Structure 1
């Protein structure tokens, strides 16, 4: 897959989910936008989990650890460049390594992710045990 195909396929979703990593709790507006974009992409909860863990968290967690990180908002162009570069390399041993360490890269935002997934499930009319 090339860079443009990645942007076309995932760009909107990645940018919609980026507020999970800001220094503030996502607003109702943020959650509503995330849910709307997730609905358009028609992804399963399992697919969303792996996008969160492998495609987003390795890039976004670096921002949280950086002293000079952008905490109030993201430069969407720079963020997209980093996400595309990461995802173009996400094959073989790199993919396996990120899967192994995804608990570390997601722990700072897991509570926000869980809230989002609960809202997605409610929107879809799913219960937690389905």
Structure 2
């Protein structure tokens, strides 16, 4: 992204994880794309799951609740701006609420996370 510097390329992880929140059924190519980005990041898979839970999920989960949510992809600049805003303004109560809400999402998206982890592990060993 032009103009913004992220020493750990966190914004690339955010963008890859945003695929999980589109109103579409993910395909093999989607998991390949996400895994390629995630394997190149400086984060372990467990860290990536925490980034999803505490940074991406709070900003994007509402898209999964809208009958005709975003399906074509999120605007990268807006995504980064919204996540950074969330991170700067969140309170301990917000974080606790996210922990509670994420439990529901986690059970719904378990198959996607399993597939993503399998694809990630395959790429990580290559």
TM bracket, shorter-chain basis: 0.7 to 0.9
Q: Is the 8 A contact 2:22 2:63 kept in 1?
A: no
TM-score where L is the length of structure 1: 0.74
Contact 2:39–2:123 (CA under 8 A) maintained in structure 1 = no
Supply the distance in 2 between the matched residues of 1:35 and 1:122 (Cα, whole angstroms): 9
Cα distance, 1:119–1:81 mapped onto 2, change above 3 Å: same
Instruction: State the partner residue of 1:89.
Output: 89
Cα pair 2:16 2:33 within 8 Å, conserved: yes
| Pairs aligned (count) | 122
Distance in 1 between residues matched to 2:28 and 2:81, nearest whole Å:
27
* Structure 2 stretches lacking a partner, 5+ long: none
Does residue 44 of structure 2 align to residue 72 of structure 1? no
Match of 2:60 in 1: 60
Q: What runs of 5+ residues in structure 1 fail to find an aligned partner?
A: 126-130
Matched, 1:98 2:98: yes
The runs of at least 4 aligned residues of structure 1 exceeding 4 Å deviation read 4-8
Secondary structure at the aligned position of 1:69 is classed as coil
